[in-house]
Structure 1
């Protein structure tokens, strides 16, 4: 769905006597400049009718209210669509085999759905791992990010505790880390069990993955203000970052995150975090508050606006 105004289709079961979520969602979308067309799902028999409507009206995205009632009509849609769950689909429709099957198929197609199992499969992480603890390192693969810094110690840790995995996500922005054509690619594969490499993925999927991981990791040699760290804080995920000035400027050790000075300390701190749920909750809560106070969207917008005003 576009960030700016666009033509949106909303498919829902509508009643003039019970406007409910359909009309509220339309009001919310139009309030930010979208052109929203609300259609009653009961007025259409199959997805081809909705496809014709989408083509004729040139809709750019769609929302369906109720996974079965509205969502089934968007199957095979040529535009991105999302689903707003209701009560009936979750509590009743799921009990019926055919409706359950259709609902599952719709979710597979919905743009707003993150498939955790598929994500693990693409990353090469065994899906049957019990008590999976996934650490996420998000960075462009270049020297200053030092993505190999924790590989050896992490692989050694994984051999002792197979449920521990490190996933490095990011594009190769330096020829030093070119995929498959460089000896330095090998540590991510056969020589380093428990360490996985995945090329960049859409931002929404990345944020969904961050929420499902145990912690976000930073191993950079130098940082200004890491967006990955701040986003993890905002998403209620603990951060373990290399103790360098840029990271220490936004992380207070054992308060809003954990700072390590070498790979061995990284493992030590990770284990303490895994074994102390209270510490994890405190770090996550304080980090969220820190981001809200110092790095919120509103604060950033105001700073840019003030900068432009000073330039005039």
Structure 2
């Protein structure tokens, strides 16, 4: 089939990475998949014209509101994948909630990353109960074997021996929902007590105004560094060499950075929000914190307790390899897209 895949393709976002991976799965199943940014279309009529011009037979959308609403009423079968914002934020806005319910009426299937996301969707739109499937994000990591950790430390202006260094890595596009400044003050205070601990924010610019705010704050904060965009294999190598990966987001659908850290056998400390708690079990697969002070307490505990570090690393690795299989994700999308072939009664 010739498929249209609509997603928000803003660089350095989880949606863009997920969309590229799902497109690869669909093409591996033998379909021709045209991936387009939902923001490129201003009205349903533009979508209708594109569908006709490209002779498209079916469609898929990532994000129920931003992408899914554009597919309604065109007469072609489509499926949707929930993002994070649609279920965490848009669902609380009356008009958007209503539109998303209408999208689910027409969609042949919907994919949620977690059981909790599925439960939220079913509570909001009971009529869609029978068409929501759960498929966790698949993870495949490949660190750059030639990566030089000491060069990265120099780039981060960390002039200490790597032997006794503890680098906490926060990976996010610089936008407010990721809240990269949430831990900065508390971490900086800890660094002044223990100069061998550093927090490095690997944060490509997404929101230019907010990026300037982050840059200014980091410059005033001892022990905190900001590094820009990195190639994926280099970033995986940085994760592998770090002491722990941190997530401080206000809202998450499913954090690829957390899953990749688990796969690379690196401890995870994550803000206790629903999207993170769905994949991080406290003191089992990682550590969950509710405020900056608790983060520092847990980070100190992790540094001083090798047995805890070893346990959460082993459990995290086993969890991600059992529940976030890249091959299982490929098989699921290959199966689901067959639901778009023919009429609903077929």
Q: Compute the TM-score of the two structures, normalised by the length of structure 2.
A: 0.56
1:9-44 CA deviation, whole Å, 9 max, x = no partner? xxxxxxxxxxxxxxxxxxxxxxxxxxxxxxxxxxxx
Deviation at 1:116, TM superposition (A): 1.0
Distance verdict in 2 for CA 1:160–1:149, change over 3 Å: same
SS in 1 for 2:280: coil
Rg bigger for which structure? 1
Partner residue in 2 for 1:38: none
Gaps of 5+ in 1: 1-110
Give, in angstroms, the shift of residue 311 of structure 1.
Answer: 1.7
How do 1:130-149 and structure 2 match up within 5 A? 131-149=164-182
Alignment match, 1:185: 215
Q: How does 1:201-240 map to 2 (within 5 A)?
A: 201-240=230-269
TM-score (norm 1): 0.62
Contact 2:168 2:245 in 1 (8 A): yes
Cα distance per residue 1:91-123 (max 9 Å; x no partner): xxxxxxxxxxxxxxxxxxxx7510111111111
Of 294, 300, 313 in structure 2, the residue corresponding to residue 284 of structure 1 is 313
Matched residues in 2 for 1:177 and 1:123: separation? 20
Within the alignment, does 1:249 sit opposite 2:278 as a pair?
Answer: yes
- Stretch moving more, 168-177 or 266-275: 168-177
Conservation of the 8 A alpha-carbon contact between 2:149 and 2:238:
yes
SS in 2 for 1:220: coil
Instruction: Provide closer, same or farther for how the CA distance between residues 117 and 303 of structure 1 changes in structure 2, counting only shifts above 3 A.
Output: same
Deviation of the 1:250 alpha carbon: 0.7
2:195 is matched with 162
Separation of aligned partners in 2, 1:199 and 1:281: 30
Q: Distance in 1 between matches of 2:313 and 2:163?
A: 24
1:308 match: 337
CA displacement 1:166-198 (0-9 Å, x = unmatched): 0000211012323xxx35422111x10100000
Q: CA RMSD in A?
A: 1.3
Aligned partner of residue 168 in structure 1, secondary structure: strand
Partner of 2:69: none
Q: How does 1:5-154 map to 2 (within 5 A)?
A: 112-128=145-161, 131-154=164-187
**Secondary structure, aligned partner of 2:209:** helix
Name the residue aligned to 1:16: none
Of structures 1 and 2, the one scoring higher in RCO (CA 8 A, sep 6+) is: 2
- Given the alignment of the two structures, is residue 176 of structure 1 paired with residue 209 of structure 2, yes or no? yes
Gaps in structure 2 of 5+ consecutive residues = 1-143, 342-346
Compared CA separation, residues 176 and 298, structure 1 to 2 (3 A): same
